[in-house]
Structure 1
Amino acid sequence: MHFAVGEGTVTAAPKAGSSSIRMALFGRLYDVREREEPEGYWVAFVRHPLARLVSCYQHWIVDRFHHRMAIQGLTERMPFPYFVEAVSAIPDSRADMHFQSQSAIIRGEPDFIGRVESLAEDWRHVQKHFNARPIGRHNSTQHADWQSFYTPELRAVAVERYREDMERFYESDLHR
């Protein structure tokens, strides 16, 4: 998740454009050099926590159930509200990286924070600092608009679970 790019680091949490970022940086998805902790000039990419949770649900619960989710007590094709409730009860210290908070992955203050929602524009910053290729779309999950998955009550549960992410990266959307 902390990708070594020359003397710097690019961090992308799972379900936050990490496949597209690896392809643009290295031309492959796997066998890329990672760091335990960021070094040098540090760029991190995040995704709206509630959109990221929908993507995780669609990818790992609905489209292709993965044993990693079963280990977490989640079940194949479980209804989204049950998924949100279950994930909300799992602390980051035990959470699978696909729904662990981005704040648990991005500890500290990156030099630049890019967002999936403005990836094309924010990627230019990476290209400038790391001479990276243009970014494409790889391994994207198809689903309805993420906001349509949430009732006001369910949104409140998810916002509480990802409160630190919301405060650090999406404060303007915290109280909607």
Structure 2
Amino acid sequence: MTELHEIWQRAEVSQRLDVLAGFVAVCVAGDEDARRRLALLTAEAEAALAASPPELDVAAQCLDELVHWAEEDWADHPYRPAEARPDEADRQTRDYAKDLRRAVLPVVLHDELACVELSLEVRFLALCRRRHLDPRVREDVFYVAGRAAMALDLGHLEAARREVRRMERVGSVESGPCDCG
């Protein structure tokens, strides 16, 4: 579990570094000294993230320096990346974490997690397509889907399976006809 928590932290820093480094790179395109400074900063952050174990504090310091640089020099720039809302930041981090997780999980576990994820998505969409779904049942469906997604993010196969079974039970409570096509 600690390894997956570490992956999530790496993904958060990596995602923010990539976005800000891309923005700063465009802004400093004509300034050779600034380009060198950016290259050194991103290389230091990448090396810290690639270390085993990752040196998250070093990478976070590089990120903080990049944030300060962007705020100091381009605070009013119309294309300066805004701080993402919490839900959007989590979605972006999750995309990064999936790639990192894929590299450390055994193939068998990764495949099983993918099967559970597909099963979850199929059931979730089928329930969401039901006409006249009671609002409380719909709320339960979204809640259980969120719990299952968290279990998948953490690589906890049994918890994810348990939540999929729970979603099946929530769906069976609502006996309305399924509008699946």
TM-score, normalised by the number of residues in structure 1: 0.26
Compare the two structures and name the one with the higher helix fraction. Answer: 2
Q: Which has the higher contact order (CA 8 A, sep 6+)?
A: 1
TM-score, normalised by the number of residues in structure 2: 0.26
